[in-house]
Amino acid sequence: MRSLALFPLTALALAACAPKEALVTPPPVAAASPAPAPYAPVIPEGTGVFAQPSSLPFQAPDFSRIKDSDFQPAIEQGIAIKRAEIEAIANNPEAPTFANTLEAMERSGQMLDRANAVFSALTAANTNPTLDRIDSEIAPKLAALRDAIYLNDKLFARVKTLYDQRASLNLAPDQLRLLTLTHERFVQNGALLDSAQKEQLKALNGRISTLQTDFGQKLTAATRDAALVVDSKAKLAGLSPADIAAAAKAAEDRGLKGKYVLALQNTTQQPLLVNLTSRDTRRALFEAASTRALRGDANDTRALIAELARLRAEKARLLGYGDFASFTMSDQMAKNPATAIRFMEGLVPALARQQGREVAEINAMIRKTGGRLTVQPWDWDFYAEKVRKAKYDIDESQVKPYFEITNVLENGVFFAAGQLYGLTFRKRTDLPVYHPDVTVYTVYDADGSELALFYFDPWTRDNKQGGAWMSNFVEQSHLFGTRPVVFNVQNSPKPAPGQPQLISFDDANTMFHEFGHALHGILSNQRYPSIAGANTARDFVEFPSQFNENWMMEPRVFANFAKHYKTGEPMPKALVERVQKAQRFNQGYALGELVSAALLDQKWHALPASAGQQDPDAFERQALAATGLDIARIPPRYRTSYFRHIWGGGYAAGYYAYLWTEMLDHDAYQWFVDNGGMTRANGQRFRDMVLSQGNSRDYAEMYRAFAGRDPGVEPMLKARGLK
């Protein structure tokens, strides 16, 4: 179908008959110069189960036919086809049009997308050594394919021609958005640079990538080296026998038999600090964590970070941006570091006051338990836990009987989607799944029509990655006439056979969260698949999911699902209130460590190239002092020297996104509260103006159109209990 519409293969077949016809048809008199041969590039044909869309309803993957051995050939063929398609677009002798360039790019690579969607779902949720091996083999090939697209000069020339003419092309808004985003992506890869600058960019990219890799390796080694060695069991008082045995084993593995080794987690705070009763041990463990990669040895990361920050700023300047944050954030909702920093600084006054209250509360607990010290960061979790136990303790075994998983899903998560968006769900057993734990539902729209498929894979397995996530097997697209096939994966501990399938409060909350992502996919109403559904910016993509968490505790929803699995009784009111209060505990710390880390990230990446190379110690000291937060007691979740998110790749100038989407979530919920709450009409508005929109328009404009104003921090502060 793709080939038919784009590259006239059927016309090619007809054209092959032309010489014969020419024998009987006299040539027209005016045909002095022969017509050029029609443009008919050769696109290879795929074979196997992914060569064509699945014949199952919604083009659902046919797991009854898909074998592990299908993936590598399918992905490699898919890459070859996509390369040929891209070459064909780039070399098309016709003048560029939106249809023969941008839309053609959207249509390219469908076999690859089909195979890759299933393959990446399985490598994350149900992997095995064969899939893992294929994964490492195809990763560089996929990277090379991206280069073949975004470093293709001829392709860029077509995109640029269209972009420069965009005002006169009469494009629909989604087309203009697709064109703008595509153009920007090329520009960010250096398409506008001359050849000397391109060489410069290549050198910068090479050095940056080496430094990022080196950082990761040094940090791993530094973290290992910084593990705390303890020479007596007495110093570990408070730890569980299992923790002590693990510490003894870790020592033995390092050739330190008879001692104890406390290995470090990646964050500043260490989970064991909650239990260690020896203040000296706590302090030693905390200091080991917060000085890692700062010891002047081979694994000290400071010199590397100083160079990396400078080179990123130089790269941004070369590409026409003021700083690296502006470069990476240009396609985000916040767009630039100033906006992100202003947003976080807006949280600070209320947050600093809450930090003061928590410090006082913890100091009171220290005095109450006979201590005379004032709290230091290594004491915080130890005493905060005592405060929590005294004020908010919740016994999971009391809560869990009210959260039977199918009940949570069908009478909670689905019920809320019905109330808001008019959706209904029916379980189906006729479609093949990749594991017997997976269930499938058809999603129906308010008018009873079939809207989507939803797969749910709840239980932990040895071959599943940790955490929870959503993705698509099939992306919604009017261009292809496809409807969404969406899945949610999470990791709840699986009950023994025959036991009730009860989950924790947090896991129930995760179901609402992940289903918020699923709704972003299910309710997508877009023409172009690359800007449909949840294919949105990092500082937007968690908005629908965090927003959907709000409905779990909505009284109408909670009453509908939180029923005792045996008696059907609702959860007692006092227990509900305790659960809700516990959510707001220790937020001065929890939010504080995120805000200071996110500000540190933004400030490092808001440096212009003209600022030159920084001294990391001085820079960090200054940046943190400027936050106005209680950094001495509540240090950032990551300090500069071990901030893997930002120096190891991925999240540079992006750590704020977690907080930003939380702001959107609470602000949107406040809009509902102000406008009559959980009604179908309000849900429909959110569906039409946000959930169906994908990445088809500027996020800030999208939000403003929905809420009638820009988002603010007040509702977030209230939800965190800081107001």
Can you give the binding site for Zn ion, defined by CB under 5 A? 542, 545
Helix (H, G, I), strand (E, B) or coil at 297: coil
Q: Which is nearer to Zn ion, 528 or 543 (CB)?
A: 543
Q: Which is nearer to Zn ion, 545 or 695 (CB)?
A: 545
Nearer to Zn ion, 138 or 468 (CB): 468
Nearer to Zn ion, 358 or 514 (CB): 514
Rg (Cα) of the chain, in Å, rounded?
28
* Lookup: tokens for 483: 């409807």
DSSP 452-513: EEEEEEEE--TTS-SS-EEEEEE--BTTTTB--EEEEEEEEPPPPTTS--B--HHHHHHHHH
CB of 545 to Zn ion, least distance (A): 4
Helical ranges in 16-67 per DSSP H: 18-24
Q: How far is the CB of 386 from Zn ion (least distance, A)?
A: 32
**Amino acid identity at 186:** F
Cβ atoms of residues 227 and 263 within 8 Å: yes
Annotated catalytic residue within 85, 475, 514, 620:
514
Task: Give alpha helix (H) positions in 294-336.
Answer: 302-318, 324-329
Q: What is the DSSP string of 529-556?
A: GGGSTT---HHHHTHHHHHHHGGGG-HH
Residues 166/181, Cβ–Cβ less than 8 Å? no
Q: How far apart, in Å, are the Cα atoms of 312 and each of 66, 187, 649?
A: 43, 16, 11
Q: Do 401 and 566 meet the contact criterion of CB atoms below 8 Å apart?
A: yes
DSSP at 67:
-
Closest separation between CB of residue 546 and Zn ion, Å?
Answer: 7
Complex with Zn ion: residue 470 or 609, whichever CB lies closer: 470
- DSSP 8-state class, residue 404: B
Partner residues linked to 441 by β-bridges: 427, 454
Residue placing its CB nearer to Zn ion in the complex, 85 or 542: 542
Of 620 and 662, the one with the shorter C-beta distance to Zn ion is 662
Compute the distance between CA of residue 479 and CA of residue 690 in angstroms, rounded to an integer: 20
- 274: CB partners within 8 A, 6+ apart: 381, 382, 385
> Is the CB of 7 or the CB of 515 nearer to Zn ion?
515
Least distance CB 274 / Zn ion (angstroms)? 26
Structure tokens at 636: 């950032």
Number of Cβ within a 10 Å radius of residue 243? 17
Active site (annotated) includes residue 514: yes
CB of 467 to Zn ion, least distance (A): 9
- As a whole number of angstroms, the distance between CA 540 and CA 543 comes to 5
* Least distance to Zn ion, CB of residue 513, Å: 6
Task: Please give the order of strands across the beta sheet that includes 469-474.
Answer: 424-428, 439-444, 450-459, 485-492, 469-474
Task: Dig out the tokens for 450 from the structure.
Answer: 């079939």
Q: How far is the CB of 532 from Zn ion (least distance, A)?
A: 18
Give the shortest CB-519-to-Zn ion separation in angstroms.
12
Please list, in sequence order, all residues whose beta carbon lies within 8 angstroms of the beta carbon of residue 455, skipping any fewer than 6 positions away.
433, 438, 439, 440, 473, 485, 486, 487, 488
Residues 710, 665 contacting (CB under 8 angstroms): no
Q: How far is the CB of 526 from Zn ion (least distance, A)?
A: 20
| Helices and strands counted in the chain (H then E) | 31, 7
Tell me if 201 sits within 8 A of 319, measured CB to CB: yes
Nearest distance in Å: CB 503, Zn ion:
18
Who's near 366: CB < 8 A, 6+ residues apart? 372, 373, 374, 375, 379, 383
Q: Which is nearer to Zn ion, 491 or 545 (CB)?
A: 545
Q: Closer to Zn ion at the Cβ: 511 or 606?
A: 511
The residue among 488 and 670 lying less far from Zn ion, judged by its C-beta, is 488
Q: Smallest distance, Å, CB 520 to Zn ion?
A: 10
Nearer to Zn ion, 540 or 638 (CB): 540
Burial class (CB in 10 A: 0-12, 13-18, 19+), 575: middle
Closest contact distance (angstroms) between CB of 508 and Zn ion is 15
608 phi/psi in degrees, rounded to 5: -75, 160
Residue whose CB is nearest to Zn ion in the complex, by number: 545
- SS3 readout for 211-223: HHHHHHHHHHHHH
Name residues whose C-beta falls within 8 Å of residue 555's C-beta, 6 or more positions apart in sequence.
none
The residues that are catalytic are 514
